[in-house]
Amino acid sequence: MQRKTLLSACIALALSGQGWAADITEIETTTGEKKNTNVTCPADPGKLSPEELKRLPSECSSVVEQNLMPWLVTGAATALITTLAIVELNDDDDHHRNNSPLPPTPPDDDSDDTPVPPTPGGDEIIPDDGPDDTPTPPKPIAFNNDVILDKTEKTLTIRDSVFSYTENADGTISLQDSNGRKATINLWQIDETNNTVALEGMSADGATKWQYNHNGELVITGDNTTVNNTGKTIVDGKGATGTEIAGNNAVVNQDGELDVSGGGHGIDITGDSATVDNKGGMTVTDPDSIGIQIDGDKAVVNKDGDSAISNG
C-alpha cells in the first residue's frame, strides 16, 4: 500500500552538505506489473538541503525524522536558523501532499442580496420648475378716443365697429369687418399722455384715404365711400366733426347715437349724390352745432330715426 508522509518543521537549513543518492531498482515483468523495488536512503539526511529533503521518497521519512529530532530538541546546530518551512515528501506514484493553508475567503459584506438599482426619481421630491397654469391672456386696451385693441381676439374696435386684424410683414395692418369690407392701416400713433390712438390708412383698392384722429373724428377722402356708424359718437367743440367725407357717391348709415355740441358737426359730406340714412338717434344741443351737412348735388337724407334739436 502506497502512503505519503508530510514532514513539517519550522526550520531553514543553511548547511552545505553532501548530496545523496536514492537507488531505485524496479523489476517489471512483460506484463508491466511491479514485482520488487529497492530504495536506498541517505545515511545522514541532516546534511541535506530542504530542496533535497523534498525529493526523498516516502520510504525514507522514518530515517529523516530520526536524524532531525536531536537537532530540534537540543538546538545545537549553529548553522540552523529557525524559520517557517514545510518539507514535502513524495511517494512512489509521484503524488504529493500540500499542507499550505487554503486561500483566504474574501470577507463577507454581510449582504447576500443582489443590490437593487435605484428607481429613477425614487421618493425624491423634484422641485417645481414653474407654474403649470395657463398664462393669463392680456386684457384689451381701451383708448380714450373710442378705440379698443384686443390682442387675444385679434380685433380692433372703432366706434363699436369691430374689425379683425392681421399684422403684415411690411408693418401695415389689414382690417376686415363682418361684411367682408377691407381696409389697411399705414400709420398707428399713440398719445400716451391722453391715452388716444391716431390711425391712417387706405381702402383695399387704394382709391380712398381715411384717418381716425386723436379726437375720435373719422375723415375720409375718396369716391364711393360707405361708413357705418353703429356705436355712440360724441362730437363736442368748434371745428370737431364726427364723420367727414370728401368724395362723390358717399353713403353714411347712421344706426347709432350721435351727440353734437359746442359748434361741432356730426356728419359733413362734400360731393355729389351723397346718401345719409339716419336710423339711430341724433342730438344737437346749440345753434353753432350741425347734425348733418352735405355740400353737393343730388343729396338724399333719410330720417327714420329720432332727432332732437335744441337752440339750433
Lowest mean pLDDT among 3-12, 130-139, 233-242: 3-12
Q: Does residue 31 have a pLDDT over 60?
A: no
pLDDT 10s digits, 76-107: 443 343 333 333 444 444 444 444 444 455 55
Q: Where residue 136 falls among pLDDT bands split at 50, 70, 90?
A: confident
Mean pLDDT of 143-156: 95
Q: Does residue 238 have a pLDDT over 70?
A: yes
Q: Is 309 exposed, middle or buried (0-12, 13-18, 19+ CB in 10 A)?
A: middle
pLDDT 10s digits, 103-132: 455 556 555 566 555 555 555 656 666 666
Half-sphere exposure of 244 (CA within 13 A, CB side): 18
- The residue ranking higher by pLDDT, 67 or 282, is 282
pLDDT the model gives residue 26: 43
- The residue ranking higher by pLDDT, 110 or 243, is 243
Q: Pick from 73, 102, 100, 75: which is nearest to 85 by CA?
A: 100
pLDDT the model gives residue 292: 94
Q: Where residue 305 falls among pLDDT bands split at 50, 70, 90?
A: confident
pLDDT 10s digits, 192-236: 999 999 999 999 899 999 999 999 999 999 999 999 888 888 899
Q: Where residue 33 falls among pLDDT bands split at 50, 70, 90?
A: very low
**b/e 139-175 (16+ beta carbons within 10 angstroms → b):** eeeebebbbebbeeeeebbbbbbbbebeeeeeeebbb
Q: Where residue 16 falls among pLDDT bands split at 50, 70, 90?
A: very low
pLDDT the model gives residue 231: 81
pLDDT 10s digits, 248-282: 999 999 999 999 999 999 999 999 999 999 999 99
pLDDT the model gives residue 197: 96
Strands 257-261 and 281-284, sheet pairing:
parallel
Cell numbers standing for residue 309: 334739436
Q: Pick from 283, 249, 279: which is nearest to 266 by CA?
A: 283
Lowest mean pLDDT among 12-21, 126-135, 239-248: 12-21
Q: Does residue 138 have a pLDDT over 80?
A: yes
